[in-house]
Amino acid sequence: MASNVRPPLLALDAALAQLLATVPATAQRQELRATLEADGRVLAQDVVSHLEVPPQDNSSMDGYALRCADVQSGRTLPVSQRIAAGMAGAPLQEGTAARIFTGAPIPPGADAVVMQEDCVLTPASGDGGEAIAVQTAPTPGQWIRRRGEDVMRNATVLARGQRLGPAALGLAASVGLAQLQVACPPRVALFSTGDELVMPGTVAPADMPAGAIYNSNRFFLAALLRRMGCVVTDLGIVPDRLEATLAALQAAAQSHDLVLTSGGVSVGEEDHIKPAVQQLGQLDLWQIAIKPGKPFAHGRIGTAHFIGLPGNPVSSFITFLVLVRPFLLRMQGAVDVAMPGQNLRADFAWPRADKRREFLRVRRNAAGGLDLFPNQSSGVLTSAVWGEGFVDNPPGQTIAPGDTVRFVSFGDLLA
């Protein structure tokens, strides 16, 4: 006789560890990508510099390069040369100054730069040139950027497994790399099942049949996948029949790294996803101790991963962020897949402690605290639009106004 006792809920950290354990530590597919087009991609090999940045001492200000020892009270220094960025200056003559611009190399013999605002320009005696009177005594090294102070030769400037952002692309370019070896983007097939689902635009709101709903999950899941750098194949709505579900899953698994669906993963729910995945491969159904988003499924169909998210829109949205996001990053060989967060003040009360780990939709207010969306139901997608992120609230934890809570920004998760 089958037992009616349900297994205990799985902690989120344990579920994530199990999920990540199914993915190799390094990306399996790699490609060479133009640095200009590598934003958001994950490095597949270290970036090592073969030069120093900057390549020589240079000025960080528009002003005058000189010897500190030549600056004496009441003495003017004739301007002996002009050095712009990209020019090589001549050795500085003793007792003179060089007009210099930001980024220009420091001439041999100079040991400081004085800002032009700290100098008074006067005619030089005798030759019709210019001279400067320095108003503030300089110190050696002043306003000089030293050779290699940014990057030293043979230094690893970007590490394998790092997700590239705009600053990282600039750094790669500064050491001369026009191309980068990166992980190929995951290929993800996305589809929905359910005869109740209707695509926006196909039926007017006034004509919706009883029990029908618009397929909102498809839209935000496709957008989330693309934010994570995935190549998405949208297979639309699959008819709610076993044969059609089997055919869709089998075809998707042959040419994708991941098949992602939403709905039909609750315990005891009548749905064709579960038997179809079990028939084609293997499936683990987890009940995770989080709210919203308890039901979650992971499995394999051939070489492709399968993930089934809960059907309620906020549950699907949250489980994507806390489980699918790190999974997709790890598929690309990313080292840091942790959920970023910061401690902020709660300006609300949450007196109802839950045994599960909760993700409460909130947004920052003008006073630097967090306000709570009044309806935290898993079906209220408005909360995820109104909110800037969520409070990651531990199991059994109440919140009083003024308490410090962990805030996770949607922007940080999807940057």
For the chain, the structural domain boundaries read: 12-26+185-331, 31-48+160-183, 58-145, 342-413
Q: Which of 362, 376, 377 is nearest to 409 (CA)?
A: 362
Q: Is 195 helix (H, G, I), strand (E, B) or coil?
A: coil
**CATH number of 31-48+160-183, picked from 3.90.870.10, 3.30.460.20, 3.40.50.2030, 3.90.105.10:** 3.90.105.10
* DSSP per-residue string spanning 375-413: ---TT-THHHHH-SEEEEEPTT--B-TT-EEEEEEHHHH
> Which class does domain 342-413 fall in?
mainly beta
Rounded to the nearest 5°, which phi and psi values hold at 186?
A: -60, 140
Q: What is the dihedral of CA 307, 253, 233, 188, to 10 degrees?
A: 40
CB 180 within 8 A of CB 172: yes
Q: Which pLDDT does position 7 carry in this prediction? A: 72
Mean pLDDT for each consecutive 10-residue tract of the chain (415 residues)?
Answer: 68 96 88 97 97 96 96 88 94 96 97 96 79 94 97 97 97 97 97 83 90 89 96 89 91 96 66 89 92 94 95 95 97 95 98 96 98 96 98 98 98 92
Domain 58-145 has CATH 2.170.190.11: yes
DSSP helix, strand, coil percent of the chain (3-state; round to 5): 20, 30, 45
pLDDT of residue 195: 76
Residue 26 confidence (pLDDT): 82
Contact 413, 227 (CB under 8 A): no
Point out which residues pair with 65 in neighbouring strands.
98, 113
Q: What is the CATH number of domain 12-26+185-331?
A: 3.40.980.10
Distance CA 58, CA 68 (A): 16
Length of the chain: 415
Question: How many other β-carbons are positioned within 10 Å of the β-carbon of residue 39?
Answer: 14
Instruction: Spell out the alpha helix ranges (H) of 158-241.
Output: 166-174, 217-227
| CA distance from start to end of the chain | 50
Task: Give, as one character, the DSSP assignment of residue 105.
Answer: B
The closest alpha carbon to 398, from 340, 348, 329, belongs to: 348
The Cβ of residue 38 has, within 10 Å, a number of other Cβ atoms equal to 21
Q: Read off φ and ψ for residue 278, nearest 5 degrees.
A: -65, -35
